[in-house]
Amino acid sequence: MTAPRTCQFAVIGGGPAGLAAATLAARLGIDTVLLDEQPTPGGQVYRNIEAVNRASGRLLKILGKHYAHGSALVEAFRQSGVRYEPSSSIWQVTPNGKIGVSQSGQAYLLKADRVLIATGAVERPVPVPGWTLPGVMTAGAVQTLMKAAGIVPDGDTVLAGSGPLVYLIALQLLSAGAPLRAILQTQNPTSWFSTIRLLSQVRAGAGDMLDGLKWIRAIKSSGVRILHASDIRSEGRDRLEAVTFQSRGQRHRIDASALLLHEGVIPNIQLTASLRCAHRWDEAQVAWAPVADQWGTTSHERIAVAGDGAGIRGAKAAPHSGRLAALETAFRLGLISMKERDRLTTGPKQALTRQVGLRSLLDHLYSPSEAIRTPADDDIVCRCEEVSAGEIRQLVDGQGFVELDQLKSQSRCGMGLCQGRMCGQTIARILAEHRSLSMKDVGYFRLRIPVKPLPLEQLAHLQNAEYGPELSASSGDPSQRV
């Protein structure tokens, strides 16, 4: 492996934001490297798009036109001349632009003048009773299997959660012949007055809204039940056998071998949190997001964010935010003037503005249920270390903990393979509720490198290793500690 040692612009993530940013950066004459954990470009939303296009068969039709939109982004990227480093796991990013990469069994360091973190979103963890049983998974995981290998559940399946992705995946499963038995809606009821007010602000999203209504109509016409549900539970001994739930004052049970959970997506902040970038608590999206200016620049000048990792705005908005970051990079490197930057950013800024109304409406309509966000004592909240919500509450009550990292050190939550991605926000909410604190006050786990698992052998044989002082992390303000 010939590892790149330096570049002007390093883009982390091969989804729509990263692809658009890298493509435009190359066009502007910037020495650009794109680092992607996946083996092919497309990210999660356009995963495996090239192979699916080559097959040009039933799977492409099943996944639909929104998935097919990724073809143009990937094709433009392939033609851009950007140095592409697939199957690269990023275990470190420092404020001065040093990136730790693990690839093909070796680790190396890449130094960039500017870094764009375009790692997208992750599905919000949904710790319902029995969610660790085999057969229970996120809806996005099933969609990934469909895109990567054309695999769908072959047994009775229940989809539970909220958000437009629930209906899209339901339609895809039905089109693929999967035995979908019911959709359990979990979102909180919304007022018609506020919905109509937000609806009047939607400009560019009319087509997407119409698509959503078509999906729901097609699902209902197929005979699949759509029910409003609460207190969803997975039941079974060695694997999932049934899903039970409360609906209209009665308890219901559906025999099932697959339960797909989805409560929307939240920004993937693992890298920005490990960098100690300033973050903000977004009450509408019920999630943390890095603080960034209009160009994506964070509290560290060399570090920018784009796409859903900067705040959930969707796949259509992501490429525009990536292009803004690329134009700002070209300006900072002296390749274009401020006047030229501002002229070229007019289009992407206008496109992003058109998405704001639709995003606000979706956040309002599909706010996660409070019942979903507050697990019972018996529910496992940290899957890596098998820690229950009750154990966390006992530590808070018995030890008087008021800081999230105290809980981490005593319970080991956040120390497993996922490094808190599956438990961080849930544990923070438990602490906030018990101490009558806001999520902003509680903050998030203090993440340390390696952000992704790294074999000691690779670290011991680290290529092009450098020694020298790193910029120290700030502390104090909880928004800085996230």
Token pair for residue 154?
Answer: 């072959």
Give the residue from 280, 443, 264, 457 showing the smallest Cα distance to 364. Answer: 264
Q: How many angstroms separate the CA atoms of 216 and 31, rounded?
A: 46
Gyration radius of the chain over CA positions = 22
Band (pLDDT 50/70/90 cuts) for residue 18 is very high
**Tokens 């496109």 correspond to what residue?**
351
State the helix-helix crossing angle for 404-411 and 389-399, rounded to 10 degrees: 110
Please check the confidence at residue 3 and state whether its pLDDT lies above 80.
no
Most confident of 254-263, 436-445, 457-466: 254-263
The b-or-e profile of 189-226 (16+ CB within 10 A means b, else e) is: eeeeeeeeebbeebebbeebeebeeebbeebeeeebeb
Q: Which residues pair with 100 in a beta bridge?
A: 92, 109
- Class of the 371-448 domain? mainly alpha
Please check the confidence at residue 477 and state whether its pLDDT lies above 60.
no
pLDDT value for 43: 95
Q: How many angstroms separate the CA atoms of 137 and 129, rounded?
A: 13
Q: Residue 243's CB: how many other CB atoms inside 10 A?
A: 29
Q: Look at strands 157-162 and 258-263 and give their pairing.
A: parallel
| CA dihedral angle for residue 220, residue 225, residue 228, residue 230, rounded to 10 degrees | -150
Band (pLDDT 50/70/90 cuts) for residue 466 is low
Domain ranges, ordered by start, for the chain: 6-122+266-336, 126-263, 371-448
Name every residue whose Cβ is closer than 8 Å to that of residue 220 and which is 6 or more positions away in sequence. 226
pLDDT value for 445: 86
The 10s digit of each residue's pLDDT in 157-171 is: 999 999 889 999 999
pLDDT value for 130: 92
Q: What does the DSSP 8-state code read for residue 307?
A: G
Structural domain 6-122+266-336, CATH architecture: 3-Layer(bba) Sandwich (3.50)
> Residue 416 region, left (φ>0) first, then alpha (ψ -120 to 50), else beta?
beta
Q: What does the DSSP 8-state code read for residue 162?
A: E
Lowest mean pLDDT among 14-23, 81-90, 203-212: 203-212
Single-letter residue type at 229: A
Q: How many angstroms separate the CA atoms of 359 and 285, rounded?
A: 10
DSSP annotation string for 225-293: EEEE-EEEEEE-SSS--EEEEEETTEEEEEE-SEEEEEE-EEE--HHHHHTT--EEEETTTTEEEE---
Alpha-carbon 402 to chain mean position: 28
| CA dihedral angle for residue 396, residue 399, residue 405, residue 409, rounded to 10 degrees | -120
**Tokens 């950066």 correspond to what residue?**
25
pLDDT value for 374: 76
The 10s digit of each residue's pLDDT in 120-159 is: 999 998 889 999 999 999 999 999 999 998 899 999 999 9
Structural domain 126-263, CATH architecture: 3-Layer(bba) Sandwich (3.50)
Q: How many angstroms separate the CA atoms of 157 and 407, rounded?
A: 36
Q: How many angstroms separate the CA atoms of 103 and 301, rounded?
A: 27
Q: What does the DSSP 8-state code read for residue 184?
A: E
Name every residue whose Cβ is closer than 8 Å to that of residue 51 and which is 6 or more positions away in sequence. 40
State the helix-helix crossing angle for 404-411 and 424-435, rounded to 10 degrees: 120
**Mean pLDDT throughout 333-345?**
96
> Residue 374 region, left (φ>0) first, then alpha (ψ -120 to 50), else beta?
beta
Q: How many angstroms separate the CA atoms of 402 and 411, rounded?
A: 14
What pTM was computed for the model?
0.91
Same topology, domains 126-263 and 371-448? Answer is no
pLDDT value for 205: 59
Give the helix/strand (H/E) hosting 203: none
Band (pLDDT 50/70/90 cuts) for residue 355 is confident
The 10s digit of each residue's pLDDT in 276-300 is: 999 999 988 889 999 999 999 999 9
Q: How many residues does the chain have?
A: 482
Q: How many angstroms separate the CA atoms of 448 and 419, rounded?
A: 9
The answer to whether residues 440 and 281 touch, using CB atoms and an 8 Å cutoff, is yes
Q: How many angstroms separate the CA atoms of 386 and 378, rounded?
A: 11
HSE value, Cβ hemisphere, 13 Å, CA-based, for 296: 36
Expressed in angstroms, the distance from the first to the final Cα of the chain is: 35
Q: How many angstroms separate the CA atoms of 277 and 291, rounded?
A: 8
Band (pLDDT 50/70/90 cuts) for residue 363 is confident
Token pair for residue 25?
Answer: 């950066």
Token pair for residue 228?
Answer: 């409003």
Token pair for residue 41?
Answer: 């470009």
Q: Which residues pair with 115 in a beta bridge?
A: 10, 303
